[in-house]
A = this chain, B = another copy of it.
Amino acid sequence: MKRSQSTPKSEAARKIDIRGVAAKARVSIATVSRTINHVPTVDPVLAARVWSAVAELNYFPNTQARALVSGKSKLLGLIVSEITNPFFPELIQEFEQVAVERGYEIMIGSTNYEKKTIEQCARRMLERKVDGVAVMTFGIEEVLFERFAVDNIPVVFIDAAPSRPLSSVLTVDYRTGIYEGVQHLAVLGHRKIGFITGPLRLRSAEARKAAFLDCLRSTGLKADPAWIIEGDHTLDGGRDAMQKILALPQWPTAIMCSNDMTAIGVQHALFEAKLKVPDDFSLVGFDDIHLAEYTIPPLTTVRMSCKDLALRAVNDLLSHLQDSPAKPEAPSKIITRLIVRQTTGLPKDALADLPGKSTRKKNRE
């Protein structure tokens, strides 16, 4: 008596589970289950009764029970490097949107580049029995590999992946975008271009650096190793790296960065050193996060579509999940391209060559 608060129904409306719905609709629980799963063989009359009972009781199925019996959790794991790097929230948003469209939930893990954390993430995803996981942390696989493989959980990686069944890899065409960037700087007259990498244990950081060196060479420029500094894809890392460059006896006239956050850090270091972008240094980022349009001045950068990335990742995962035969294995690359904004201009040494201009301070050669 004391428990029946809301409904004065005589049937104890204790828990709203499938049994409650069945009772109210005067059918068996099997019929309820079939109805809500849209199995076509259920009599429309009964179905209608079920649906109205569902609506009336405000019922929805218990995901865990469902997952337990069916073996499918309808959960997709998404492992990112660092949730505080705005590129990843943008990726997460896209990823979530397409996952939800297809009836999946997502579970996020942020590794912060730490091995221990990445292990924990993997573990948690295994425990929650994810149906698949996208490792968007651009490198690092190790432990992940073995256990997901034995459980037959598909995994999609970026740039490089252990080759095993149910795993696929999304390759990014870094070269095109970076080549456009180098060309753009070369056309402006830059000959001395530095590069701030990401953490080099990350494959994609390594890949971006390799693409840069390769593009330099094919543009006929040579790389000064002193101008290749390892950063860590963060604001602080970008700032620190630029400070290292500024401490050098010889400066490059342009800097390319392994990601946009690094570039923003660089801008800050230059601001503190009272140097101007693009007058003293030209600057090119990578990723084209939304913020890039809002830096001062707006950042010239290489766009990599995170929408594309997310879409491909989910598609790959789901294609492994559904019918194994139909694996189209679209091996096309994620494209990149240069977005020119206002952090690139003529090199300072070119200006110095112009007559009657004494370049206010900092003038070298």
* A interface list, Cβ under 8 A from B: 6, 58, 60-65, 67-68, 73, 83-84, 86, 88-90, 92-93, 96, 100, 105, 107-108, 110, 120, 123-124, 126-129, 147, 150, 235, 239, 264-265, 267-268, 271, 290-291, 293-298
Contact = CB atoms under 8 A, between A and B. Distances in A.
A60 B123 contact: yes
A84 B147 contact: no
Contacts of A120: 100
A54 to B, nearest CB: 13
Q: Counting chain B CB atoms within 10 Å of each CB, which of A64, A84, A235 scores highest?
A: A64
Contact of A235 (B61, B67, B235, B294): B294
A25 to B, nearest CB: 20
16 contacts: A6-B150, A60-B123, A60-B127, A61-B127, A63-B127, A64-B68, A83-B89, A84-B89, A86-B89, A105-B128, A235-B293, A235-B294, A267-B296, A268-B293, A268-B296, A271-B297
Contacts of A235: 290-291, 293-294
Given A64-B128, A239-B294, 4 more contacts: A84-B90, A84-B93, A235-B291, A295-B296
A264 B60 CA distance: 43
A265 B290 contact: no
Contacts of A294: 235, 239, 264-265, 267-268
A73 B68 CA distance: 13
A129 B63 contact: yes
Contact of A124 (B93, B105, B295): B105
Contacts of A100: 120
- Assembly stoichiometry (copies): 2
Contact of A84 (B86, B108, B128, B265): B86
A124 B67 CA distance: 14
A126 B89 contact: no
Contacts of A296: 267-268, 271, 295-296
B89 A290 contact: no
A96 B68 contact: no
6 closest cross-chain pairs (CB), A and B: A64-B64, A83-B89, A296-B296, A268-B294, A64-B67, A63-B127
Contacts of A58: 147
B60 A64 contact: no
A341 to B, nearest CB: 11
Contact of A110 (B86, B93, B127, B267): B93
Contacts of A61: 127
Contacts of A127: 60-63
A223 to B, nearest CB: 28
Nearest to A270: B296
A20 B161 CA distance: 31
Nearest to A107: B107
Contacts of A126: 60
Contacts of A147: 58
A58 B37 CA distance: 35
Contact of A63 (B128, B150, B297): B128
A124 B61 CA distance: 11
A287 to B, nearest CB: 13
Nearest to A295: B296
A136 to B, nearest CB: 15
